[in-house]
Amino acid sequence: MDIKCNDVKVKFNENASQYDSQRKKLIPCFDDFYSIAISIAETDNNNPDILDIGAGTGLLSFFILEKFPNANVTLIDISEKMIDVAKERFKDKPNVTYIIDDYSNYKFNKKYDIVISSLSIHHLTGDEKKQLYDNVYSCLNRNGVFINADQVIGGTPFIESLYKREWNYKIENSGLSKEEILSAYERTKLDKMSPLEDQINWLKDVGFLDVDCVYKYYNFIVLFGRK
């Protein structure tokens, strides 16, 4: 396992038990961020196969199962502690399966109607993102959709400073403890965010249609692409 990839695994294993309780405070636009991602997940299949990349505790999958209760959902994440939380969340859901692995290198052996991801892909380098987008395209059924709710870096240093200042202000006035805030800042050291424009172009380059950023709040974005 790559050393940097292992760093991500360790940090998220450490934070697994508190992850969900901190989400609304660490994501100022939480309600729109998740609800918009789910609203654009559409398929003609009544029993869709859905893949959640970097699924963590399964929060996004929880929302997608509310929309598609008969879906077969696969969660993949490198953190076994995060997956443990997801397993507890879905203990009464036989239609959920789990893969503990590095999704950036994993070879998916089936096709999906919808591929989703939230707050994970920004841990990959630009080249790794491009390769992942190609892999996602390959494992989608025709007319399948990819939805990535994630974070991007500002297009200029000035814009990036605006993003950081806004986020710092929001979380420091969120009610999180000093330890929780310091832990959140520490995890940002693992980020390898890429510009929004680059990611839109990478999705188009691998063949995605109707590529768009359907939502943006500072550096929080929801990207869409259709095969």
pLDDT at 11: 46
84-112 confidence digits (pLDDT tens): 999 999 999 999 999 999 999 999 989 99
Please, are residues 70 and 95 in contact by the beta-carbon 8 Å criterion?
Answer: yes
Please, are residues 185 and 143 in contact by the beta-carbon 8 Å criterion?
Answer: no
Q: Which residue, 210, 17, 223, is CA-closest to 119?
A: 223
Q: Which residue, 120, 186, 128, is CA-closest to 151?
A: 120
**Measuring CA to CA, how many Å separate 88 from each of 58, 83, 85?**
10, 9, 5
For the chain, what are the domain ranges?
3-226
Report helix, strand or coil for 1: coil
Q: Which residue, 69, 212, 89, is CA-closest to 148?
A: 212
Structure tokens at 51: 């893949």
**Measured between alpha carbons, how far is 34 from 50 in angstroms, rounded to an integer?**
16
**List of the chain residues with pLDDT < 50:** 1, 3, 9-11, 14, 16
**Measured between alpha carbons, how far is 59 from 41 in angstroms, rounded to an integer?**
15
**Measured between alpha carbons, how far is 76 from 97 in angstroms, rounded to an integer?**
9
pLDDT at 19: 66
Of 2.70.98.60, 3.40.50.720, 3.40.50.150, 3.40.50.880, which CATH number belongs to 3-226? 3.40.50.150
Alpha-helix residue ranges (DSSP H) falling in 99-193: 126-138, 157-172, 178-188
pLDDT at 4: 53
pLDDT at 95: 96
pLDDT at 117: 98
